[in-house]
Amino acid sequence: MTEPTRTWSLRRRLVTIASAALLASVLFGGLAMYTAASIEGDQMMDASLETLGSSLLVILEEEIEEEMAEVSAGLHSLPLKLSTRPSAALLYRYQVWTRHGTLLMHSYEAPADRPLMPLTRLGFDTVRIGGEEYRSFALPTKDHEYVVQIAENVDERWTQTTRLTAYYVSLLLLPLALVFGGTLLWLRRSLRAVDSLAGQLGERRALDTTPVKVADPPRELLPILKSIDALISRVAHALSVERGFTAVAAHEMRTPLAGLRAHAQLATKAGSEQELKEALDSVMVGADRASHLIDQLLDLARVDTMPKDSEALLGPVDLSDVYQGVMQELGPRAERKRIEFTARFPSGEVLGHQFAVHVMLRNLIANAISYTPEGGQVAVSAQRDGEWVVLTVDDSGPGIRPQDRERALERFNRLGRTQSDGVGLGLAIVHSVAALHQAALMLADSPLGGLRVQVRFAPVTAAHTPVK
C-alpha cells in the first residue's frame, strides 16, 4: 500500500505568512518600544535624580541658613537638627549628611543608620537597599560641608516601563485584528479564481473539451489557465483523431473479415479439390491482408504515442543498417517480382528513433515493391545536402499525380486503387515518422518513372531544429 502524497494548502500558507508578519510586527514593535523606553527611562531617571537632588540642595541650604540664624539668636544650639519628612514619592529615598558623617535629615523610606552610598562618592551610582536595586545620586553644597544623597527604585521604574509597553501592545491589538481580518478577506477574494478553476475541473466530464472560463483571474493564474486550455485543445484534437481513426479502421477491417468469411463459406461448399484449394488460398490471402493491416495499425499507434518533444530519446541511426534489416524482411517479395534494387549510403547516419526510422523505411520500400511492376527498379539512397541528410526512395511504378500527393498522406486513402494489396497506411506512417523527427517530407516525380519520396533528416552532428 503506497503512502498518500503529502499536500499543502496555499491559502493556509498565505494566512500563516500574514499571521507571522503581524505577530512579528507586534513583538518587534513592542520590543523596540520597550528598549527605547528603557533607554529613555534611564536617561530620565538620572535627569530626575539630578533635578530632585538640586532641589533638595536648595531647600537644605535655606533651612541651614534659618537654623544658623536661630543659633546666632540663641534659640538653638549646635549641632543642627533638621526635620525629617517623607519623600515626594515612594520611588525616591534621600539623606542629608555632614562631611563628618552626621545624618541631618532623611526620608522615612531611607535608612537612618548608614548612607545610601559612600560619602566620598559624588555623582551617579547603583546601590542595593534592603535587597532592592536603586539608582543613586550625590550632590554636595558649595562649601562641601553637607552632602545630599537621593536614590530611586530601579525595579519600580522597570515596572512602569513594562506597563507602558503593555499598554502600547494592547492598543495595537484592535488595529492588528482589523488588519488580520481584512487580510483574510482579501486572500479569500484573491483565491476565488483558484477555487473556481478547481471546481470547474472537478465537475468537468471526461469528454468535455470546452475551454476553462474563470472570471477576473489574477495575473499569476493566467499562465496556468493558458496551459490548461492548450492541454484541453490537444486532448480535443487527439480525441478527434482517435474517433476518426477508429471509425476508418473499423470500416477497413470489415473488408478483409468479410472476404475471409466469404471464402471460408466457399471452402465449405467446394465440390472439388480444386475449388477447395482456390477457396483456401483466398482465405490465406485475406488473412495476410488482415494481418498486414493490423501490423500497420500497431506501427502507426506506436509512432503516434512516441514523445514528440523529448530529444533524450533521439540517437544516432545508421540508415544503411536499417536498410539491411528491412531487406531481410522484404527481400523475398522483391525477388518474386524480379525487382532490381540499388542502394547508396555515402552519408547515412541521422539523429532519430531507431524503431520509427525502421518502420518508415520498411513502409517506403514495401510501397515501392507493391506498386512497381515485375522487372522494375527501386533505388534507395542517403546523401548529405548542406546541413541535412536526405533519404530518397525512387521506384518505376505508376507514381502519384501532383494534385493527389497531399491526399496520399491521409490515412486509409488509397486514391481509388483496388488492384494493390495495400490498405492506405504506408505513406501516412511515413508522414507521422517525419513529423516525429521534425523532418521535411516531399513527394515528387522519380527519374525512374514512378514516385520519388524524400525525407530530410538532421544529421548526428547538427542541431535538431525543424525544417521549414
Give pLDDT tens digits for 202-221.
Answer: 777 777 777 777 777 777 77
Query: Region 3-10: what's the mean pLDDT?
Result: 59
Which has the closest alpha carbon to 424: 360, 367, 341?
367
Give percent of the chain above pLDDT 90: 12
pLDDT of residue 446: 92
Domain of residue 382, CATH code: 3.30.565.10
What is the 8-class DSSP label of residue 30? H
Residue 445 confidence class, pLDDT cut points 50, 70, 90: very high
Identify the CA nearest to 362 among candidates 391, 401, 389. Answer: 391
In a domain, 150, yes or no: yes
* pLDDT value at residue 36: 66
Q: In this structure, what CATH number is given to the domain that contains residue 249?
A: 1.10.287.130
Owning domain of residue 118: 10-162
| DSSP letter assigned to residue 403 | G
Instruction: Give the integer Cα–Cα distance in Å for 202 and 298.
Output: 34
* pLDDT over threshold 70, residue 442: yes
The answer on pLDDT for 418 being more than 60 is: no
5 occurs within a structural domain: no
For residue 133, give the 3-state DSSP assignment: strand
Q: What percent of the chain has pLDDT over 70?
A: 72
Q: How confident is the model at residue 148 (pLDDT cuts 50, 70, 90)?
A: confident
Q: Any long-range contacts for 306-314 (C-beta under 8 Å, 24+ apart)?
A: 306/353, 306/356, 306/436, 308/435, 308/436, 311/464, 313/353, 314/351, 314/352, 314/353, 314/437, 314/464
| Shared-domain flag, residues 48 and 73 | yes
Question: What pTM did the predictor assign?
Answer: 0.49
Angle 314-389-395 from CA coordinates, rounded to 5°: 110
User: What are the two backbone dihedrals, phi and then psi, of residue 241, each rounded to the nearest 5 degrees?
Assistant: -65, -40
Return d(Cα 215, Cα 192) in angstroms, integer.
Answer: 9
* Residue pLDDT, tens place only, 69-92: 665 665 555 454 555 454 444 457
Q: 289-329 pLDDT, tens per residue? A: 777 667 777 777 677 666 665 555 678 889 999 999 989 98
Which of 261, 286, 305 is the endpoint of a domain? 305
Tell whether 134 and 120 lie within a shared domain. Answer: yes
pLDDT reported for residue 110: 78
Per-residue pLDDT reduced to its tens digit, 457-466: 888 775 444 4
Burial classification of residue 192, based on how many CB atoms lie within 10 Å of its CB (0-12 exposed, 13-18 middle, 19 or more buried):
middle
Most confident of 166-175, 182-191, 402-411, 444-453: 444-453
Q: Is the pLDDT of residue 234 over 60?
A: yes
Q: How many domains does the chain have?
A: 3
pLDDT in the model for residue 86? 47
DSSP-assigned states of every residue in 328-375: HHHHHHHHHTT-EEEEE-SS-EEEE-HHHHHHHHHHHHHHHHHHSPTT
Last residue in a domain, options 267, 282, 305: 305
More confident residue, 71 or 119: 119
CATH number at residue 20: 3.30.450.20
Whether the predicted pLDDT of 455 surpasses 80: yes
Q: Do 98 and 220 fall within a single domain?
A: no
Q: What is the pLDDT of residues 329-386, one digit of tens each?
A: 888 889 999 999 999 988 778 888 888 888 889 889 988 998 899 999 999 999 988 8
Task: Tell me which H or E stretch contains 289.
Answer: helix 273-304
Whether 197 is in a domain gets the answer no
